[in-house]
Amino acid sequence: KLPLTLAIMDGQTIRVASENYIVPLVSIIESLEIKTDDIKRVSGKGELYPLRDEYVPVIRLYELFGLAPTSTDLEEGLLVVVEGDNQKIGLFVDDLLGQQQVVIKSLETNYRKVLGLSGATILGDGTVALILDVPGLMTLYRDPSLASKIITDEDAA
């Protein structure tokens, strides 16, 4: 049974811990190496990185998705600055693996809606990569209590 329509997007493949994810290229502002000394820690807001005339919140994706980190040192990874809902956030990633067009497979129709993820795709080597939903990540940043809903008791069973 063939689908009538396919959704294709340009994405940046990133590595977080041992997992690959896709960030929509239209959401990416820039990627940069940062110094730990530049990070400001603010009570109740986490880590902020000064980017020109504003402070960008830093989201450590390995924490958000419950992965064992390859490194927790910000200087050993990269900050991918993305924008959604007229707000910028910095995604701490281990590596950038390349840009490619991917076919989006919805999680909602095949599994369930997951905040921060818009779908999945199968990469050229046959591995599955989850596609990040930048507005969903913004929501998780604003309300961290929602992150516990990413992994539910139903998943653990």
Asked whether residue 156 is assigned to any structural domain, the reply reads no
Is 61 a member of any domain?
Answer: yes
Q: Is 157 within a domain?
A: no
What single-letter amino acid sits at 148? S
Whether residue 112 lies inside any domain: the answer is: yes
CATH number assigned to the domain comprising residue 46: 2.30.30.40
Give the integer Cα–Cα distance in Å for 70 and 90.
Answer: 18
Question: pLDDT (tens digit, 9 = 90+) per residue, 108-150?
Answer: 666 667 788 888 999 989 999 999 999 999 888 887 677 665 5
Residue 1 belongs to a domain: no
Domain that holds residue 139: 7-147
Interval 79-112: pLDDT, tens: 999 998 889 999 999 999 999 999 888 776 666 6
Number of domains in the chain: 1
Task: Please report whether residue 138 resides in a domain.
Answer: yes
